[in-house]
Structure formats: C-alpha cells, structure tokens
Amino acid sequence: MTHRLTHRRWFTPWLLAGPAVVWLAVFNLWPAVNTVILSFTNAKPLGGGHFTGLDNYERALSDEQLIDALVNSIVYLLVCLPLLTLLPLLLALLVEKKLPGITFFRTAFYTPVVASAVVVALIWGWVLDDRGLVNGVLGQLGLADQPVSFLTDRWLLLFSAIGLTVWKGLGYYMVIYLSALGNVARELHEAAAVDGASAVRRFWHVTLPGVRPAMMLISVLISVSALRVFSELYVLSNGTGGPGGRDMSVVMLIQMYSRGFTGHIGYASALSLLLFMITVGPMLLLARLNRKAA
C-alpha cells in the first residue's frame, strides 16, 4: 500500500489523530517540561512565582518529612514485592482449572481491584478501628488486653496500609498470571506428570519457568505502584499522615504542597522530579522487558 492509496486528502490522518495529539502535547508533554521549570521557582498554588535557582532542591535535602517518606517507600516496596509476586501466582493456580462456578470465584477475587482505594481504605479503617472487627475478635479470643492501635501507631499504620495494598492488588496480578498460565503448554505438564514428577516439582520446573516473563513484568509493576502509593495512607490516616505526619508517602507530600495558602508549587515540582527519578529505574526495566517480548 502506498501513501496515496490509504487516503485522498493529506490532512485526513491529522484530523483523526488530532485530538489525541493535542492531548499528548497539552496534558502530557507540556506538564513534563513545566514540572522541570516550576521546580526552579517559588510558584504558589494561587499563582505567581519567580526563579529561585536550586532553593527547592536544597530544601529537599534537609526535609526530615521527605526522609521519612522515602523510608516508608522503601519499606512499602520491600514488603509488597515478595508478597504480591508470589501470592497472586498461587491464587491464579487455584482458579486456573475450569471447575463449576470458577467464573464466580475469579470475578469475586477481582472485586477489590475495581473498588476505589478510598472505599477500600474506609472499609479497612472501620475493620481495623480501635473498636472495630479485628480488635473485637482479638479481645474476644483473649489475644489482646487493649485494642491494637493499627491506625494511630507510626509503624502499625504503615503496615496496615501495606496490607491493604497487598489485599487490593491480589486480583489484579492474579489475572496477569492467569493469562500467562494460559500460555504455558499443557503438554509439558502432562509429559512431566507421565514421567512421575510430583506436583511440587512440576510447579518448580514447568510452571515457574513458563510464567517467568509475567513474573518479571509484575515485579516491576509492583515496585512502581508501591513508590506511587497515596490513597491508602491518606485515607487510613485521615489526611494527617499519621502521628507527627511520619506516615506520609512522597505523593502525599506532593499533594500537601500543591494546595492551600501554605502550599508551594515549586517545591512540590521538585518532589515530583524526585519521584520520577526513583520510579524511572523500574520503568526502564519494564521498557526493556517489553522490547524483549515484542
């Protein structure tokens, strides 16, 4: 097919792609450039601002709240990564077989994914409340004399949010594994079974190598989303960021500085660039994996 054959008027493609290209420029490329520009200014949420050089970056270096946020991000990542790489795979193996009613179970396991993080966090906030379900049961079983302060302790709050992220992510990664398992040749399993390989050996030598590409992709996705966490921590701490604001994530800091009279768009932009730098590593890995798969 030559150029001329696909359409008569030269501008037809631009007419069709036009809106998307405008969105690309106005809402994707420009904000990326503008984030860099703003990070060198003292712009405020209500407008104004002028060039202030590296002030925002110097401020970031001595921001204790930012250090807390980065520590939280690392803990988040280290806990989420193994749990969300492994548990959804086991879940996918559980729902893989076409048993009666399996569609119902698959849909049900996916439900936490389609619910808003706000809804999920409000539900868990109530379940983990000092007078909530978990503390009620713990007290009933005599496992805790006093309510466990899941939502008001600096570390327990962080781990509650992590638990919530893991719980909400199970179904999402399960579906990716399910898709990958569909591509693992059934014949391989059968051959291994005929050779007398146990279920554990088959899992180790047939299933795992078969889903390895999906597993790589998933661990990158988990890393990036762990670094981007916001809603879980925000809602569980009721917007406060926990005791002393120590349970903030980098995105929570960005949100905090993006509004109000005390906001600081310039500083929030510098934090945004920092966030980009810590997420770009896993992202580049993802791009590389995609290129390999293509």
Partner 1 sequence: MPARGFGTPTPAGKAARYLLLALVLLLTIGPFLWQLSTSLKGPGEDVYSRTPDFLPAAPTFANYTQVADTIPVWTYAVNSLTVAGIAVVGNGVGATLAGFALSRLRFRGVRLVLGLFLATLVLPGEVTIVSQYVTVRSMGLTDTLLGVALPGAIAMLNVLLMYTAFQAVPPELDAAALVDGAGVWQRLVHVALPNVRGMLSVVVIFTFIGAWDDFLWPLIVLNDPQRYTLTVGLQYLNGTFAANPRLIAAGTMIAFLPIVAVFAALQRFFFKGVEEGALKG
Q: Residues with Cβ < 8 Å from 219, sequence gap 6 or more?
A: 81, 85
Exactly one of 32, 67, 74, 86 binds partner 1 (CB under 8 A); that residue is: 32
Within 97-152, residue ranges assigned H as helices are 102-114, 117-127, 133-140
Q: Which is nearer to partner 1, 76 or 124 (CB)?
A: 124
Q: Please, are residues 80 and 166 in contact by the beta-carbon 8 Å criterion?
A: yes
Touching partner 1, residues 48-77 (CB under 8 A): none
Exactly one of 53, 62, 97, 292 binds partner 1 (CB under 8 A); that residue is: 97
CB of 36 to partner 1, least distance (A): 9
Binding pattern for the stretch 107-126 against partner 1, x by CB under 8 A and - elsewhere? xxxxxx-xxxxxx--xxxxx
Q: Which is nearer to partner 1, 155 or 290 (CB)?
A: 290
CA distance 140 to 29: 56
Exactly one of 157, 162, 170, 206 binds partner 1 (CB under 8 A); that residue is: 170
For residue 241, CA distances in Å to 6, 23, 62, 119, 289 come to: 56, 34, 19, 18, 35
Binding flag, residue 86, partner 1 (CB under 8 A): no
Touching partner 1, residues 184-243 (CB under 8 A): 186, 189-190, 193-194, 211, 213-215, 217-218, 224, 228, 230-231, 234-235, 238-239
Look up residue 39 and give its two tokens. Answer: 């990070």
Q: Please, are residues 80 and 226 in contact by the beta-carbon 8 Å criterion?
A: yes
The residue type found at 69 is A
CB of 205 to partner 1, least distance (A): 16
Q: Which is nearer to partner 1, 12 or 152 (CB)?
A: 12
